[in-house]
Each structure stands twice: as C-alpha cells, then as structure tokens.
C-alpha cells in the first residue's frame, strides 16, 4: 500500500499541534488536535509528556487559553502584575458560547509518579478554524490539584498547524 503522506485525521478535518514548555523553556509535552469533518465532528486531543520528572505527580487542570502567546513573566491582556504565561489570557470560549464548561475546558491530565503522562480525550466544543482565528490559542497545563501550585500555569504551548 502506498502512502500519500496524509493521515486520515488530516484528510478528514485537519490537525493542529502544540509544544508545551515550562517557564524556564524546558519542553515538557506535545499535544495534537485531530479534527473530524461534518456536522457531528469532534476533536481528538492527545497530550504526551516528552520527559519525566518535570511535572509534579497528580492531577493537572488543562485548558485552551484565548491567546496564542506563551511568555514567561508576562502581564495578562487585562493588566495586573506579571506571572508565568499570563499573556495567554483566560480560558477560550468559542463564538456564541458563554456557558460552563467553557469551550477550552479539557479533561484533567494525570501525571504518574515518574512525571510521565499520556492523555487522549475528545471535545466538540471548538473547531480547528476557531482555534486558529484572531490571536490564535494556547494549551495550558496548570499545577497539580490539591497543591499550593494548583492555579499556577506550569506549561504552555501555542496551538498551530502541524508540520
């Protein structure tokens, strides 16, 4: 069988990806967003750590944020004191959606004791074009739930075309 160089996901609705890094620039995870086509299409989101021992073990909140910027020690678009990855703004909401859960809310990422994680989840709350529109979007991993770092932004990656 001859390969055409196009995966089934790309042929159906396209793919996006993000390389998530810590505030000090260490790559911690990769993410892919594979989109189906048609009225009942959804995104399959896959997140996998690339190095163990960087993320703390436990459950980490994971969200798509509204601006495709991942700047450490940055100020939020609304102002205020600087913090890690605040340039990514708040959680993404698809046009016409204002309820909860927010469009950018994804499943929790479970990090094992060795710092590795692998998650596959789906969402029909956004489209490929919505994630790329305007200022683009970013995927954010927050600190481990139940810790004093639970609300911190510990890893971020701008979502963009694969390749």
Question: Is the separation of the CB atoms in 20 and 132 below 8 Å?
Answer: no
Q: Measured between alpha carbons, how far is 160 from 163 in angstroms, rounded to an integer?
A: 9
pLDDT range class, residue 98, cuts 50, 70, 90: confident
pLDDT range class, residue 4, cuts 50, 70, 90: very low
CB neighbours of residue 59 within 10 Å: 17
The rounded percent of the chain whose pLDDT value lies above 90 is 71
Tens digits of per-residue pLDDT, 102-147? Answer: 888 999 999 999 999 999 999 999 999 999 998 999 999 998 877 7
Q: Measured between alpha carbons, how far is 132 from 161 in angstroms, rounded to an integer?
A: 8
Using the 8-state DSSP alphabet, how is residue 74 labeled? B
Q: Measured between alpha carbons, how far is 50 from 120 in angstroms, rounded to an integer?
A: 15
pLDDT of 13: 75
CA neighbor of 116 nearest in space, from 31, 49, 47: 49
Tens digits of per-residue pLDDT, 50-61? Answer: 988 899 999 999
* Domains by residue range for the chain, with CATH: 12-161 (2.60.40.200)
Question: Is the separation of the CB atoms in 148 and 59 below 8 Å?
Answer: no
Q: Measured between alpha carbons, how far is 17 from 163 in angstroms, rounded to an integer?
A: 8
Question: Is the separation of the CB atoms in 28 and 21 below 8 Å?
Answer: yes
pLDDT of 9: 42
């Amino acid at each position: 069988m001859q390969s055409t160089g196009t995966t089934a996901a790309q042929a159906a609705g396209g793919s996006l990806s993000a390389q998530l890094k810590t505030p000090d620039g260490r790559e911690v995870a990769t993410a892919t967003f594979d989109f189906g086509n048609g009225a009942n299409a959804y995104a399959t989101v896959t997140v996998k750590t690339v190095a163990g021992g960087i993320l703390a073990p436990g459950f980490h909140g994971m969200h798509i944020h509204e601006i495709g910027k991942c700047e450490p020690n940055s100020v939020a678009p609304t102002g205020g004191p600087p913090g890690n990855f605040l340039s990514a703004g708040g959680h993404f909401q698809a046009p016409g959606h204002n309820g909860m859960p927010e469009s950018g809310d994804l499943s929790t990422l479970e990090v094992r004791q060795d710092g590795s994680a692998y998650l596959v989840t789906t969402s029909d709350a956004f489209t490929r074009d919505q994630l790329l529109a305007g200022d683009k979007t970013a995927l954010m991993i927050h600190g481990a739930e139940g810790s004093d770092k639970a609300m911190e932004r510990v890893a971020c990656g701008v979502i963009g075309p694969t390749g």
